[in-house]
Amino acid sequence: MSAASIDGKAFAAGLRARIAERVPTFRKATGRAPGLAVVLVGEDPASAVYVRSKGKQTREAGMESFEHKLPADTDQATLLSLVEQLNMDPAVDGILVQLPLPAHIDADEVLLRIDPDKDVDGFHPVNAGRLATGLPGFVPCTPLGCLMLLEDRLGDLSGLDAVVVGRSNIVGKPMAALLTAKSCTVTVAHSRTHNLPHYLRHADIVVAAVGRPHFVKGEWLKPGATVIDVGINRTENGLTGDVDFDSAASVAGAITPVPGGVGPMTIAVLLRNTLVAAHRREGVALEE
C-alpha cells in the first residue's frame, strides 16, 4: 500500500470535541442545551444500533437527546403527528427520522413534514434546493463529512476533477453539489454510465457511493487520486466499502478505510448540524 489512510475516526473525534466545547456557551446564552430528537419505527437491528450511537454521542457532546421508539405497526397518522409535535417543541432543534421506515409508511410524506429549519439530516426538498442554489440550509451529513475529509487532506479543492459514483438523494447528488460549490469539475456516474474507468482515469477526487462491495478497482484510478469510500456493505467477511481497497491503495494518494473512514463522520456532522440549528433558532452567533 502506498496511499495514505484518511483517518475519519480521528477527524470525527476532533469534530465532536470541538462541538462539545461550544455547548456551554450556547447553554449560557439560552439557558438550555441544543436538543436532537431521533425517531425510530420498528426493530431493524442496524437502525437500532445507529439510533443508540446517535443518542450516546449526542449526550457525550453535552446536548439533549430525545429518543422516540415506536412499534413497527405504527400508522402514518401517528408518525406524522409525532413529527408535528417535535416541530412545535422549543427544546428540539433537530429532528431525525431513522430510515428505512417500514414499507406501509410513506417515507417521503414523513420527511416533507419535518420543519426544514429542524431538518438536520438535510433530506427535505427545501434543504436540497438551498444546497443547489447556494443558500444556507442543512446538508446531508455523510456527504458533508466527506467534504470535510477532502478539504482536510487537500486544502483548496478549486479546479480539481472529481467523479462521484452514485446519484442518490442522500449521498451522490448532495456530494456533487458540494464539490461544484467548491469549484471542482464534477462528473456524476451511475448505473447507466458507459465506461466508468474512462472518467475515473482523469479524477483527482473519487467519491464512491454505490452500495456494491469492491466495485471501484485500483487500475481505474489516476495515480495519486484521493479516494473517499462511502460504501458500507455487510459481507460474510465483515464490513467492506465500495472500493477494492488493496488495489486502490497501491495507486491512490490517499484513501478512506472501511470501517474507520467516512462512517464515523456521519454522526459527528449530525451533531454539528444540530448545534448550527440550535444557534440559528435562538439567533445566537456560532463561530465555526
The catalytic site residues sit at 54, 98, 121
Rounded CA gap, 98 and 276, in Å?
20
Q: How far is the CB of 50 from ligand NDP (least distance, A)?
A: 9
Find the shortest distance in angstroms from Cβ 14 to ligand NDP: 18
Pick from 208, 279, 194, 271: nearest CA to 244: 208
Stretch that binds ligand NDP, among 74-82, 125-133, 208-216, 219-227 (CB under 6 A): 208-216
Total residues binding ligand NDP (CB under 6 A): 26
Task: Pick out residues in 247-266 that bind ligand NDP (CB under 6 A).
Answer: 262-263, 266
Q: Which among 122, 159, 156, 166 has a CA at the least distance from the CA of 141?
A: 122
Under the criterion CB under 6 A, does residue 105 sit at the interface with ligand NDP?
A: no
Is 201 flagged in the annotation as binding? no
Query: Is 168 part of any known ligand binding site?
Result: yes
Instruction: Tell me how far, at minimum, the Cβ of 64 lies from ligand NDP, in Å.
Output: 23
- The one-letter code for the residue type at 36 is L
DSSP state of 224: T
The verdict on whether residue 172 carries a ligand-binding annotation is no
% helix, strand, coil for the chain, step of 5: 45, 15, 40
Considering the complex, what minimum distance in angstroms separates the CB of residue 66 from ligand NDP?
A: 22
Strand intervals (E) in the chain: 4-5, 35-41, 64-70, 94-97, 161-165, 185-189, 205-208, 226-229, 233-235, 238-240, 254-255
Spatial contact of 96 and 65, defined as CB atoms under 8 Å apart? no
Does residue 194 belong to the site contacting ligand NDP (CB under 6 A)? no
Annotate each residue in 119-158 with x if it binds ligand NDP (CB under 6 A) or - if it does not, as one string. Answer: -----------------------x----------------
User: CB of 88: closest distance to ligand NDP in angstroms?
Assistant: 29
Q: Are 141 and 131 in contact (CB under 8 A)?
A: no
Per-residue contact string for residues 9-38; x = within reach of ligand NDP by CB under 6 A: ------------------------------
| CB burial of residue 44 (10 Å; 0-12, 13-18, 19+) | middle
Q: Indicate whether 111 belongs to the interface with ligand NDP (CB under 6 A).
A: no
- Taking residues 158 to 187 in sequence order and writing x for each that binds ligand NDP by CB under 6 A, - otherwise, the string is -------xxxx-xxx---------------
Report d(CA 256, CA 183) in Å as an integer.
22
Using CA atoms, how far apart are residues 277 and 41, in angstroms rounded to an integer?
24
Site for ligand NDP in 79-98 (CB under 6 A): none
3-class secondary-structure state, position 71: coil
For binding to ligand NDP (CB under 6 A), which residues are involved?
Answer: 142, 165-168, 170-172, 189-193, 196, 209-212, 230-233, 242, 262-263, 266
Q: Which residues are annotated as a binding site for NADP(+)?
A: 166-168, 232
